[in-house]
Amino acid sequence: MIKATNIHKYYSDLHVLKGVDLNIQKGEIVSIVGASGAGKTTLLHILGTLDRASSKEQSSLHINNVDIISLSDKTLAKFRNEHIGFIFQFHQLLPEFTALENVCLPAFIKNTSKPDAEKRAKELLDFLGLSHRYHHKPGELSGGEQQRVAVARALINNPELIFADEPSGNLDSESAENLHNLFFKLRDEFGQTFVIVTHNEELANMADRKLVMVDGKIV
């Protein structure tokens, strides 16, 4: 599903990723742990095609056998919308839209009809315990509620591959457990692949495989 070799990233002089190699199979749930600043979010953004690896080194990134590095920005955006879902560390909902509208957006971009998108969005919001919050805007929601809206948004297009950065960081322990169980349920039902950055020991250990990042490398 994902095959990455020798991924590097610099922020001016700062060498943040120092040659990451990674192989993730379809249907796998992989957790990535490591100290703050180790490069986890940076790596997730590159694997998720939101950012590009340094071109100074010979690197490669294949997702679903597609050579990501060779794609134009436009083709890449389409690929991302159809195959990849994100749950961000900071949820990045659009403040002027309601919860329901935020969840529907990726479906609208994919040209799903409004009734179909809203039906699926409501199913997801219901499942995540937000039936009473469809029409609230992010500013009217708690942090944990916003996080769950972001989860629903990530899942609406049924992406094969989901990247999550601290998905349960803002949740109470019961909501966190529900969310973790949802990931495993989706994997078992639909064979979705998850790459999850987390400081939550329990979640990290539930994964099929736990990768540890230290100073820009997977050890």
| Contacts to Mg ion by CB under 5 A | 41
The least distance separating ligand ATP from the CB of residue 43, rounded to whole angstroms, comes to 7
| Distance in Å, CB of 14 to Mg ion, minimum | 15
Q: Which residue, 14 or 74, has its beta carbon nearer to ligand ATP?
A: 14
Tell me how far, at minimum, the Cβ of 11 lies from ligand ATP, in Å: 3
Nearer to Mg ion, 41 or 147 (CB): 41
Q: Which residues bind ligand ATP (CB under 6 A)?
A: 11, 14, 16, 34, 36-42, 89
Closest to Mg ion by CB, 43 vs 156, is: 43
Strands 66-67 and 60-63: antiparallel
- HEC profile of the chain: CEEEEEEEEEECCEEEEEEEEEEECCCCEEEEEECCCCCHHHHHHHHCCCCCCCCCCCCEEEECCEEHHHCCHHHHHHHHHHHEEEECCCCCCCCCCCHHHHHHHHHHHCCCCHHHHHHHHHHHHHHCCCHHHCCCCHHHCCHHHHHHHHHHHHHCCCCCEEEEECCCCCCCHHHHHHHHHHHHHHHHHHCCEEEEECCCHHHHHHCCEEEEEECCEEC
Which of ligand ATP, Mg ion, none does residue 14 bind to, with CB < 5 to 8 Å depending on kind?
ligand ATP
If the CB atoms of residues 33 and 99 are measured against Mg ion, the closer one turns out to be 33
Q: Shortest approach of ligand ATP to residue 15 CB, angstroms?
A: 9
Partner whose footprint covers residue 37, from ligand ATP, Mg ion, none (CB < 5 to 8 Å by kind):
ligand ATP
Q: Which does 219 bind (CB under 5 to 8 A by kind): Mg ion, ligand ATP, none?
A: none
Question: What is the rounded CA–CA span in Å between residue 118 and residue 122?
Answer: 6
Shortest CB 38 distance to ligand ATP, Å: 4
Site of tokens 């969005």: 121
Task: Please say which residue, 37 or 143, places its beta carbon nearer to ligand ATP.
Answer: 37
Interaction partner, residue 191 (Mg ion, ligand ATP, none; CB < 5-8 Å by kind): none
Phi, psi of 122 (to 5 degrees): -65, -40
- Compute the least distance from the CB of residue 167 to Mg ion, in Å: 12
